[in-house]
Structure 1
Amino acid sequence: MNKIKNQARPVFPFTAIIGQEEMKLALVLNVIDPKIGGVMIMGDRGTGKSTTIRAIADLLPEIEVVSDDMFNSDAYDYDVMSDVVKQQIENKVDFTTQFIKVPMVDLPLGATEDRLCGTIDIEKALNEGIKSFEPGLLAKANRGILYVDEVNLLDDHLVDILLDSAASGWNTVEREGISIRHPARFVLVGSGNPEEGELRPQLLDRFGMHAEIRTVKDPSLRVQIVEQRTKFDQDPYSCINEFYDKQSALKESIVLAQKKLANVVIDYDLKVKISQICGILNVDGLRGDIVTNRAAKAFAAYQNKDEVDVDDIKTIITLCLRHRLRKDPLDTIDSGTKVDKIVNEILI
């Protein structure tokens, strides 16, 4: 029997992606704990960035949302619930729920602020006294993934809005004295090609993790990747069926990690060592310390552990810190290597 439902558009399975381990790990950890703050993926063109991001969204279990709610509100969690649903609960009004796939929203490069944040219909508000709101992409992305390709080419003002919403979990639209706010909790994923320009350091620092991807050089691995992709293009459903068990196992371990996360602990001495590394590397602010602690806990939970150990920190710390180092034009080593060197000195 066919193990998959008929999808409108088949998505390449996440577990079928060969290589690019750094990017895959960063995405999985952000899905386990969205408060890590998103992922910036920088790398060459044609390295499977958007394929991988679509694949992780497709892999995730369906979420329960309030029916006919434009913000994908959770019926049980106040933090990701719209004000309308909160009022319904307070007034004991019944509503139905339904299960939907995790939203995956693409932000096009030419998007305007209204398209991103949504718009208030002023005419309706003045004439009829009704707060009429046309939701934007931030509303659609609530409880999902918001993907910005070529984020380094996006208008800085829009990047600021994106990062503020991702950090606070809310989007506020104000116009002519009328204000509407709604939940906007999402995993922000940006990708770009360094040849097309860098992101400003103050914006780069706001992304929780930074994965660097390179074109695979090994000829046999390249052949393997090409064959895998060709097989999928020729018969997507048999390829999806082939990876069904692996996909299910990964989905299950993500769900278990999400449940386990709140109880994972990190020893005080390890916290001190993380901060010591950040200090030696001259990382500005405390965001690096916070993200590294969060990511280490998410990684421990992903491995079904109750406590973070040194190896967990070694695995994730470069992803959390490499983009926070001050750029020195005279440096001959890249920032990732610099982080690794200090980590190996401190974490023995």
Structure 2
Amino acid sequence: MIEGIQKLPIEINDKEAIEIYKKLSNVNKKIGKLDTVLKKSIVNKSILSLLTLNESVQSTRIEGTQVTFYEIMENKSKKNKSWQQIEVFNYHKAIKHGERLIKNGDVISTRMIKELHSILMEDARGTVSNKGEFRKIQNFIGPDKKIENAVYIPIKANLINEYMTNLEYFINGEYHRDFDKKTEENKVLFDHKIDSLLRIAIMHAQFESIHPFLDGNGRLGRILIALMAIKEKIMEAPLFFVSEELEAERIRYYNTLNETRGEKPSWLSWILFFLSASERMADKIIGKIEISEELASNGLKKCNTTVQSEVWLATFREPIATATEIAEITGYHKQTVKKALDYFVFNNLLDKDKSAKRNVKYYNYELIRVIG
């Protein structure tokens, strides 16, 4: 059983630091390419929205939900949603809210973190009575509800504010008196001045280890990765999504996080794991954008009018939609849009629910497959 964590900053020995920086160089190049590919894409805003929804799905799956990207797209407009769907949409709302705050000039503060938590936990499962508030009691991480079987016991509740202040300064790259630390011989200090991507990796592990809320810490910690990437200008939009990669290696994710805890933390495995996940994420999202771009371009070649072109591109924003919904996006009359959508069905670019009599849905299955 591991208890508690050390405050930031962290120390890494010289050899480990060299290994980390070698890896970091390659990952930063990949992420730079991702940002460039997105900016050049003709469907960048549409793809960004869909990728954000997919991130919401993947992050909640780490917590044990079974919801799929297709299911979320199918149920976007429905009023009565399952708790699993609510969690996904809350996650999406929290990311978008955080993005707005950061682009308005806000720093990632304790106030913002509590605000995001409140959005995340609205009508969700778990302990929602304390949404937006730090826990007042001891919690623990383990296989059951017995603390004696815990894998990890976070810091006491009365220390949360102190540790979160320490983390807040680190996140925003600002000096704090805690960072006045003399390093041992052959050690390197990873403080508030280090590369942004390394700070994101350390931030996520530290937030998860503080475990400041009774519920929702994992999801919120992954939201902070995307938001910190915007704040640090790694990405212009919330596209730094590693949840799919973390979910693919869930046990390794939890194991390496656990190594950063206790009186003698080891950070190398976690940082290298996070950098590798970030590199795979960049490769995967670049691939998704490029394939989506190709799908969009191939469809545009079959368009004969401006109306058809605009309706076609609107299906990249809403790959499951009715003629009415596409009409709202494009501004064209519903019947004009329906005619264009049926043209795409005839040319095998879209599918249509032929069994429905009202509110007929059109499906861009090729795009859904790429994103999800």
Normalised by the shorter chain, which TM-score bucket? under 0.3
| Alignment TM-score, normalising by the size of structure 2 | 0.25
Q: Which has the higher helix share?
A: 2
| Alignment TM-score, normalising by the size of structure 1 | 0.26
Which one has a bigger Cα radius of gyration?
Answer: 2
